[in-house]
Chain A
Amino acid sequence: MSTQQWIPVCHENQLLPDAGVAALLGERQLALFYVSAKQQFFVLDNLDPVTGAQVMARGLIGNQGEQWYVASPLLKQRYCLHSGQSLDDDQVALPSWPARCINGMVEVALPEAA
């Protein structure tokens, strides 16, 4: 099992409430979301698995019942903000990582190897 490492990404006021922004960590693009109603942070991979474009951070976020999700800006497939699981296709999921905010800094927990 790989150990987690919390990596600071940006200041919380660089985020856009109820929308996404992208961040670059090494070679990997992340999509960061902040849901203001619940004051929660989420991090998914920025790569849209359907089109292969790095665009997930530009999607709209929403909820279907209890599920919170982001919809791809290109062809509108939806992915759970918590797990990255696609709501439209069982076979597809986006990588997702835990996120938190400490002293105003948004941090993401990536596996050591990343």
Chain B
Amino acid sequence: MSLTRLALVGNGMVGHHLLQNLADQGVLAQFAITVFSEEPLLAYDRVQLTKYMEHGSAEDLSLGSMAQYQAWGIEVKAGVVIETLDTEQQVITASDGTQHKYDQLVLATGSYPFVPPVPGHDGPACHVYRTIPDLDGIKAAATRARSGVVIGGGLLGLEAAKALVDLGLDTHVVEFADRLMIQQLDAEGGELLGAKIRALGVKVHTQKNTQAIVPLQEGGVQLQFADGEVLETDLVVFSAGIRPRDQLARQAGLSVGERGGIVINDQCQTSAANVYAVGECALWQQRIFGLVAPGYQMAKVVVSQLLGQEAGFSGADMSTKLKLLGVDVASIGDAQGRTEGAKSYRLFDEYHGHYHKLVVDAKGEHLLGAILVGDATQYSDLLQIYLNRMSLPEHPEMLLWSADDNADSGVGQMVLPDSATICSCHNVTKGDVVSAVQGGCCSLADVKQQTRAATGCGGCVQALNNVVQSSLQDLGMEVSSDLCEHFAYTRQELYDLVRVEGLKSFAEVLQQHGQGLGCEICKPTLASILASCWNDYVLAGEHVAQQDSNDRYLANIQKDGSYSVVPRVPAGEIKPQQLIVLGEVAQEFGLYSKITGGQRVDLFGARQEQLPAIWQRLLDAGFETGHAYGKSVRTVKSCVGSTWCRYGVGNSVGLALDLENRYKGVRSPHKLKFAVSGCTRECAEAQSKDIGVIATDKGWNLYICGNGGMRPRHADLLATDLDQATLISYIDRLLMFYIKTADRLQRTSTWLENLAGGLDYVRQVVIEDKLGLATQLEAQMQALVDAYQCEWRTTLADPQAVARFQPFVNTQASDSSIVMVSEREQMRPATSSERINLFQEIA
């Protein structure tokens, strides 16, 4: 059997999804596939485009790679446009002149931003917002601009406005209608959104019809509106809607809609045989779908068609939840209440700035639509009620309050059918999630990886988490959140018990809430919790037996039983005299010296009994312990910053010093690393740290929950342009919230990924103080800061503690099992064969 020649025009999100689907089904081998991609970059996540402004990493957004396609045996023509289509001969012609015969053709050409043909619309100051090169263009222009205007106050326009704000521009949004997001919101919702966005410093101009864009002599342009007003700016971004890319289809004589779009039937077939269309270029029942989820469903339908299976596209839900410039906005179904007989319930909370509206049918039995502005926590519940046509509770108005405010709102008690869609981006149903859990996934993170749910727009994560948790419980799965057999509590529960009951030692906690002797899991965990709550000296009598070996000797144990010594070098700044002392100590005690990846110096090969003498020398020279041994704050890496660097806009060393001196000694579920960079060049790699700070010309941007190490994770931007006091209050709150709620040995990155509600929730807790915990968290952190002590200083002042560094209880002898050899003029542990040789020589 010869292979089916399948040609795909367009390698956007939907085109890629189609290929992914073929690969997932294991049927690639039946096809000879050629993909034509106009963009030189292969498929990337357009939905997350605005993130590119933050990270500037195209790789982070990448969906399809050349290597992946090669592995799939797919031929890729990147940077090539298909110019003509001959449906008779079944041939397409590319811009490089080559011709390709196909048996089946899929058009996935997407759409383009509509630019109203006002005079001046094509000048150099004008941009659109659709592709990575578009964003690069805006970024470059922004370096020479002070202000920017987005024309169009819809969903994409507000995304673009966010990007301009992030670029530090004085940002304006110009909208033709009388309010923002006219497609999704009603008058009140649009008003409130406008007010909130204005409060963030974005200027919103409604009812403005732009008639001309006139270049100014001194640079920049003047927008001239129909009402005679003008607005001057350096940069314009059009976001006035999208138009399907149907040129190829028109040229080939396929049937297209009056206002554009390639007409398709339920099987996604166009008017020509063997030609399909999917995604934003396709017109189904007179509708274009400007979201990915419907496009993904179309791609699935085409895959079924290609495999000779039955399937059809039956429309798609256009509900959306977004965070626009930090404001939660959601719209479900018939949000405007256009259905005959529809009635609405509305809650306008001026105090908190929330607007909630439910649209119900004439009989009040079913939800037809909803609008949420300012707080969209009920979105996933309402969406499920809407999508599954669940009967409304007796008092539907209860649903206006968010679940947090009202535990009995009725939403929680409504049981979803298995067919309920949880994630519309990846079309994952409740049934799929339940089977993933039954198949062995036992955490939110596992289920995300297995089903891809919540890895698209992320809007469904709360709902997903609910289903995951309840399926785990249904299975009677010992989700065993118990810490270990000695404590039938989670780490968070133990933390709360220790705090609330004021427990001060492992023995007390074990006696009151545990059983048995304890173990290598609960002992260090409780030692860490106790330290995070009270910050006692960790080697005090009642604590010493619970410390992990590194904490017990305040040094890192090495493979041969010797130790390493890492003094703190705050921010990596070090006086020449201190460098000299480090050298002298290394020489005197015969230690191997190495510069670490954390901007300090590690001295290896210290014998247990040498540690006190080594530290005495270091303390005398003004060093303190570096906590390299602890699950605690490690280093605050800094770049040289504005003091020396020609690019620096902030004093990164100064801030890093303040941060390191503030948080040193804080113990946490896992280690914590910080960094501060003096400008966006990011020489301190702050975006790979638990806490990363980058200077801006207005203050500091705060990034959180990055990770290097085993599974690198880019940090997320939490807040921008903070002054130092606010920055520190946010870090205080974030760290204490993490310390309070994380699992043992969970870095901030995995903590965030497993936290239901994710970054939005963190934002609510840390910035909006939704839980009302902020003052408490800050006070708790301040208490830890005030209780700081250099553990080595305390230890050296206590002769009993010093005595514990003797290797043997019954003799002053030193441990002869530690054997060093020399390499590159320093010491290192002898290998086992070297040891045998050495012993033979002696014998």
A23, A58, A60: which contacts B524 (Cβ < 8 A)?
A60
Considering the complex, which residues of chain A in the window 1-46 have a beta carbon less than 8 Å from any beta carbon of chain B? Answer: 9-10, 14-19, 21-25, 29, 32, 35, 37
A20: min CB distance to chain B, Å: 9
List the A side residues contacting B840 at CB < 8 Å.
none
A103 at the interface (CB under 8 A from B): no
Q: How far is the CA of A54 from the CA of B835 in the complex (A)?
A: 14
Number of interface residues of A (CB under 8 A): 36
A53: min CB distance to chain B, Å: 4
Q: How far is the CA of A21 from the CA of B608 in the complex (A)?
A: 12
List the B side residues contacting A71 at CB < 8 Å.
519-520
Considering the complex, give the chain A residue whose CB is closest to the CB of B815: A54
Asked whether A74 lies within 8 Å of B519 as measured between CB atoms, the reply is: no
Number of interchain pairs (Cβ within 8 Å): 93
B89 at the interface (CB under 8 A from A): no
Asked whether B807 lies within 8 Å of A22 as measured between CB atoms, the reply is: yes
Asked whether A60 lies within 8 Å of B810 as measured between CB atoms, the reply is: no
Asked whether A63 lies within 8 Å of B557 as measured between CB atoms, the reply is: no
Asked whether B808 lies within 8 Å of A24 as measured between CB atoms, the reply is: yes
Asked whether B561 lies within 8 Å of A59 as measured between CB atoms, the reply is: no
Asked whether A35 lies within 8 Å of B561 as measured between CB atoms, the reply is: no
Asked whether B809 lies within 8 Å of A9 as measured between CB atoms, the reply is: yes
B832: min CB distance to chain A, Å: 6
Bitwise interface map of A from 60 to 84 toward B, beta carbon under 8 Å scored 1, else 0: 1111110010010110101000000
Q: How far is the CA of A51 from the CA of B562 in the complex (A)?
A: 13
Asked whether B520 lies within 8 Å of A76 as measured between CB atoms, the reply is: yes
A110: min CB distance to chain B, Å: 13
Considering the complex, give the chain B residue whose CB is closest to the CB of A59: B549
B559 at the interface (CB under 8 A from A): yes
Secondary structure of the B contact surface, majority rule: loop
Asked whether A54 lies within 8 Å of B817 as measured between CB atoms, the reply is: yes
Asked whether B817 lies within 8 Å of A62 as measured between CB atoms, the reply is: no
Asked whether A61 lies within 8 Å of B817 as measured between CB atoms, the reply is: no
Considering the complex, give the chain B residue whose CB is closest to the CB of A9: B810
- Please judge, given known A-B contacts A52-B832, A64-B485, whether A18 and B545 are in contact too, CB under 8 Å: yes
Considering the complex, give the chain A residue whose CB is closest to the CB of B552: A58
- Please judge, given known A-B contacts A18-B517, A23-B809, A53-B817, whether A73 and B548 are in contact too, CB under 8 Å: yes
- Please judge, given known A-B contacts A22-B807, A24-B808, A53-B560, whether A61 and B517 are in contact too, CB under 8 Å: yes
List the A side residues contacting B810 at CB < 8 Å.
9-10, 23-25
A55 at the interface (CB under 8 A from B): yes
Considering the complex, which residues of chain B in the window 496-536 have a beta carbon less than 8 Å from any beta carbon of chain A? Answer: 516-524
Q: How far is the CA of A64 from the CA of B809 in the complex (A)?
A: 28
B595: min CB distance to chain A, Å: 25
B538: min CB distance to chain A, Å: 13
B811 at the interface (CB under 8 A from A): yes
Asked whether B557 lies within 8 Å of A58 as measured between CB atoms, the reply is: yes
Asked whether B520 lies within 8 Å of A37 as measured between CB atoms, the reply is: no
Q: How far is the CA of A37 from the CA of B514 in the complex (A)?
A: 14
List the B side residues contacting A17 at CB < 8 Å.
545
- Please judge, given known A-B contacts A16-B544, A52-B832, A62-B518, whether A24 and B813 are in contact too, CB under 8 Å: yes
Q: A15-B809, A19-B552, A71-B520 are in contact. List 15 more A-B contacts (CB 8 A).
A: A17-B545, A22-B809, A23-B808, A53-B817, A55-B561, A58-B549, A59-B520, A60-B520, A62-B519, A62-B521, A62-B523, A63-B517, A73-B557, A74-B557, A74-B559
A-B contact pairs, 18 of them (CB 8 A): A15-B809, A16-B544, A17-B545, A19-B544, A24-B807, A37-B517, A54-B561, A54-B815, A58-B557, A58-B561, A59-B520, A60-B519, A62-B517, A62-B523, A63-B486, A68-B517, A71-B519, A74-B557
List B residues at the A interface (Cβ < 8 Å): 485-486, 516-524, 544-546, 548-549, 552-553, 557, 559-561, 804, 807-811, 813, 815, 817, 832
